[in-house]
Amino acid sequence: QVTGYLDDCTCDVETIDAFNNYKLFPRLNKLLESDYFRYYKVNLNKPCPFWNDSSHCGKRDCAVKPCPSNEVPDGIRAGSYKYSEEANNLAEECEEAERLGAVDGSLSEETQAAVVRWTRHDDSSDSFCEADDIHSPDAEYVDLLLNPERYTGYKGPDAWKVWNSIYEENCFKPQSVKRPLAPGRGESFIHLAKSLGNLCVEKRAFYRLISGLHASINVHLSARYLLQDTWSEKKWGPNVTEFQQRFDEVLTRGEGPRRLKNLYFLYLIELRALSKALPFFERPGFQLYTGNKIHDAEIKTLLLEILHLAKSFPLHFDEKSFFAGNKKEAAKLKEEFRLHFKNISRIMDCVGCFKCRLWGKLQTQGLGTALKILFSENLIEKIPESGPSYGFQLTRQEIVALFNAFGRLVSDSSFSSVLYMLY
């Protein structure tokens, strides 16, 4: 079983496991079962922007079952913030918008289109993800509890092509490494991982985040494997052989434990982001609105309990080690970091299995939101206790993705421990 300290950190696996399994796991599971966090709006029909491929996985378990509109709580569908302090100023803001809207009539169509592009650019300038347009006719609500992440049978050249693109084209890596991933048993990962010592801490971290995300997906597929498939019954459970092939130290030539440590590194990054986001969620005017006032208040209380617990973790990752050198070079590297990750989020539209695409999009948006939080510390510190937080904002999509993505990692820690015990 993987143990010991993580690279570039002061934290060890044992501390994370104890904190996760006994304190965080039960609380976060309860939160993710609530209406606010179980419904996620996603467009699974966007074309792949990188290569022409309209093929999709034909297996039954690759399919995603969208929610009928009447099953999604009214408050979520309406996008209302009825209980927030911001709503008190809504009428004034609408009047202001109408006055500003009247000016638009005097603008040429070309100028109006430019304004729309500027607005989109401003909205995306701090984003690490290519977010779906939730107002698109193709965007649908999905109940995450009814569409769990598990093994679907999606594998082979199509799946390898996606990971090839992620690792080879979008990861910072030593120039000497030309093809870090190829179809087969995956030994080519080893040469890349051993070359990471030559990279700066930011580039090492980027690679380890992607490797950790990959490991997280593989842990889930191993823990929730299709063991029996008949017309009368499907049986899902842990597949130790699958887990060994991906993570056993001998079978992977020492690479498996490193992959799992990268998963723990990803856990630390997202845990740190949750602790940093506390001031945003702690404002009295912020509510997790579904339309059920009593339940919404209870869920916010649970959310704040989890965030305070995250803040109490004794060995947080120190993100101040990122982009700490020459300001000009640091800014350039930070932007490169952001654009690399944004590209990876776009690759998720190339995944042929719809259920894999759903969870890939959610987890990349969740990690992207975590990075947005970590790199917006100055803005978060300036958030007023009441009123709108214009400098820093999170959409409902980002919030749902952030906590569900972290929920995958919280489960992974428990799953990997169980799978090791079954060896």
Which residues does the annotation mark as catalytic? 353, 356
Q: Is residue 97 part of a domain?
A: no
For 66-88, how does the pLDDT look when each residue is reduced to its tens digit (9 = 90+)? 998 889 998 898 864 444 444 43
Q: Is residue 112 part of a domain?
A: no
CB 169 within 8 A of CB 134: no
- Cα separation of 102 and 305, whole Å? 45
Please tell me the predicted confidence (pLDDT) of residue 79.
Answer: 66
Q: Is residue 301 part of a domain?
A: yes
Q: Which helix (H) or strand (E) holds 73?
A: none
Domain count for the chain, please give it. 1
- Cα separation of 166 and 206, whole Å? 12
The model's pTM is: 0.86
Please tell me the predicted confidence (pLDDT) of residue 275.
Answer: 97
* Whether residue 181 has pLDDT greater than 80: no
Range in 168-177, 198-207, 291-300 the model is least confident about: 168-177
Q: Is residue 91 part of a domain?
A: no
Q: Is residue 104 part of a domain?
A: no
Q: Is residue 224 part of a domain?
A: yes
- Cα separation of 367 and 181, whole Å? 22
* Whether residue 133 has pLDDT greater than 90: no
For 101-131, how does the pLDDT look when each residue is reduced to its tens digit (9 = 90+)? 344 434 455 544 544 444 444 445 568 888 8
Q: Is residue 94 part of a domain?
A: no
Q: Is residue 268 part of a domain?
A: yes
Distances (CA, A) of 166 to 209, 221, 242, 339, 342: 12, 19, 22, 13, 11
Q: What are the φ and ψ backbone dihedral angles of 139, each rounded to 5 degrees?
A: -80, 130
Name the residue range of residue 146's domain: 13-83+117-421
Q: Which helix (H) or strand (E) holds 184?
A: none
Counting other chains too, the contacts that 340-343 makes at CB distance below 8 Å and 24 or more residues apart are: 340/170, 340/171, 340/172, 340/206, 341/128, 341/129, 341/170, 341/206, 341/367, 341/368, 341/371, 342/127, 342/128, 342/129, 342/130, 342/368, 343/169, 343/170
Could you list the residues known to form a binding site for FAD, using ranges.
Answer: 150, 152, 163, 211, 214, 246
Could you list the residues known to form a binding site, using ranges.
Answer: 150, 152, 163, 211, 214, 246
